[in-house]
Structure 1
Amino acid sequence: MKKWIAVLAAIMIITAGCSSKETEKKEATEHKEKEIEVEETVPPEELPYQFPLSGLGTAEESSDRAVAVVVNNHPKARPQSGLEKADVVYEVLAEGDVTRFIAIFQSEQPGKIGPVRSAREYFIDLASGYDSFFIAHGYSPEAKDMLERGVIDNINGMQYDGTLFKRADFRKAPHNSYITYKNIVKGAETKGYELDEAPASAVFLSSEEAEGLEGTPAEEFMVKYGSPSFDAIYEYDAEQQKYHRFNGSEESVDFESKEPLLIDNILVVQMDHSIVDDVGRRVIDMASGGKGYLFQKGKVNEIQWKNEAGRIVPYKDGAKAGFVPGKTWINIVPSISDVSFDSQQ
């Protein structure tokens, strides 16, 4: 009997110790969750720092370099991976009526990005405005010349297919090249590129300025690219105060998470486009400035855009128009008449 009493006592002591450790672990987890919750609810301007390309608040100053990835937008490449974490996404025509994305990452680093597609010279120009590390798989002759001359730090799937870039077995080439953020960092290290200098900050609105935005109601609008497969439709979600994006009836979502892409600013700008060869390659005038629309909070304002150090910057009434903190998409179109929204219909 004494033996069993001793055994039971030992079990009770061990159980109590385990219970104590579990309690401590649970309390630590709950405390950490509360800290995260508090940080997320603090207005961006009340945190000590902001991410330079999203304007969202952060407790620590970010020194990460921007990374620009050319992402495929062919119907066979949808839904894509990683776009939901891009701070800025440019949508621009390649050959024909096909658009591609130049996704700029800085505040967030997705596990996987793709499908990755080939470069054009104006893709490189856009990425250069953020001093980005440039990622593509393939290139036009003009883009290849720029990359070989070292116009921008880069790695390309033409040299790293099957190593840094991996082919997915559920899609067919050229719609199946992917790269992980881990391999982006590895590629930079291989080439001796630094990734520890953040880009200059864009101009952002305060919470009060964002809530007080005025403009013409525009809760739904279309950006036409000449083909229903590539025409982009945006719909405003008043509850989330963000825009959803669609190609036709198909909503743009992340391939892995299946979560919709939610956008805070859509800047649509008109640029002169010229066809320069039999393949249909283009030259786009990204230097001269011109007309545009800025959609925010379910409203739209006419703007003029300027190219400042390689970035497309909106101006309204002679002053820079600030962005709402969050995600920004910039649609480049040949004509401002390619944009239609409710008040015009």
Structure 2
Amino acid sequence: MGRRARTRRVATITALLATAMTISLAAGCSTPGDGRDDGRAPDKDLRHSPEQTPAAEGSVLAVKIDNVRQAKPQTGLNAADIVYVEQVEGGLSRLMAVYASELPEAVGPVRSARESDLELLRQFDDPTLAFSGAQRKLLPLIDRAPINAQPPGRTSGAYYRGTDKPAPHNLYLRPDRLLPATPGAGALTTGFRYGAAPSGGTADTSETVRYPAARFTFTWSEDRAGWLVSQDGAPTVTSDGERPAPATVVVQYVTIRKSDYHDSTGNYTPYTETIGSGKAKVLRDGRSYDVDWKRAKAADGTDFTTSDGNPVNFAEGQVWVVFAKAS
């Protein structure tokens, strides 16, 4: 399995001077974007003891991040090594940001987990998952999964409510409460390879990916040496005023099917299958490459290869992976 070969600056972790507020899991899994709570399970249903020890060094931190209009601007996105984009109920989107090289002071808004997340996270060794709740029937699967599940209430002071947005779009995480130190790029057992660009490709300065109720556009910027992110026709800007500009964007075409779980209004959660094989488009250095992807089993990372089987290198820097429905 390939491991990420780059080293990024490790930020000094400073605790936010905010008083932790009582967090209810009812903020977790309402229909995306409608701003309502849906009676999600309280904290006591998600923890086996009043407090769980934070993750050991060596494991990545994955955070589920709200991505509807009411949740923006988001916090901590630019520090992530990888940002996964997935389709959720109502054709909307949600993000999973993965941190190994750097921990920001805060990340959020934090929202609920999905069944697909458990499959995706199996590629990492004992990953920590920060999330704000889940479908009640999914909770036993989360408890059994080989992850360090960290909903609100499990580790003291890890979460707080901001005052900038209405609930449930104002729940934030202090990452340093969950990881004692950054594990480093070696923990990113994704199968991604980094290095010189492959030969060929097509000059490409803009690509758009559409979900039923969301749209992402990635525009190449020579100045940033990355792909500026826009969503639903508007530039994506984080709470610190910066635009995410990942060095590599992967549009990975996958099977997206209906899962066994639904929200309080009866909308079934899409299940994104990340094990298997298929086609993908890799964007780097102002060019696009049509490639193949393969992930044989859950514990494996994902291999990206050209049509003749040669590995495809990503550019050094942040990677966004957008899971798009295969035609």
Give the TM-score taking structure 2 as reference length.
0.75
Residue 203 of structure 2 corresponds to which residue in structure 1?
217
| Contact preservation (8 Å) 2:82, 2:321 | yes
Match of 1:27 in 2: none
* Aligned match of 1:265: 248
Pick one of 121, 139, 161 that aligns with 1:144. Answer: 139
1:139-182 CA distances to partner (integer Å, 9 max, x unpaired)?
A: 1245412222243112112x359942111122112111101122
Is 1:55 the counterpart of 2:6? The answer is yes
Pairs within 5 Å for 1:187-336: 198-200=187-189, 202-206=191-195, 209-210=196-197, 213-227=199-213, 230-255=214-239, 257-276=240-259, 277=262, 278-308=266-296, 309-317=299-307, 318-335=309-326
1:135 corresponds to 2:118: no
TM-aligned CA distance change 1:202 to 1:287, over 3 Å:
closer
Name the Cα RMSD after superposition.
2.8
Contact 2:4-2:194 at 8 Å conserved across structures: no
Match of residue 97, structure 2, among 94, 103, 106: 103
Larger Rg, first or second structure (1 or 2): 1
Relative to structure 1, the CA distance from residue 98 to residue 304 in structure 2 (aligned partners, 3 Å threshold; closer, same or farther) is: same
| Per-residue Cα deviation, 1:180-229 (whole angstroms, up to 9, x for no partner) | 1222237x9xxxxx9698344744343xx24x7531111011010122xx
Q: Can you list the C-alpha shifts for 1:50-102, whole angstroms capped at 9, x where unaligned?
A: xx54724679xxx7431101111011001110010100110001111111111
Question: Which position in structure 1 is the counterpart of 2:23?
Answer: none
Give yes or no for contact 1:292–1:302 (8 Å, CA) kept in 2.
Answer: yes
% identity of equivalent residues: 22
Contact kept? 2:272, 2:323, Cα under 8 Å: no
Q: Pick closer, same or farther for the CA change 1:213–1:331 going to 2, 3 Å.
A: same
**Relative CO higher for 1 or 2, CA cutoff 8 Å, sep ≥ 6?**
2
SS at 1:295's partner residue? strand
Tell me whether 294-303 or 175-184 shows the greater mean CA deviation.
Answer: 175-184
Residue 184 (1) aligns with residue 178 (2): yes
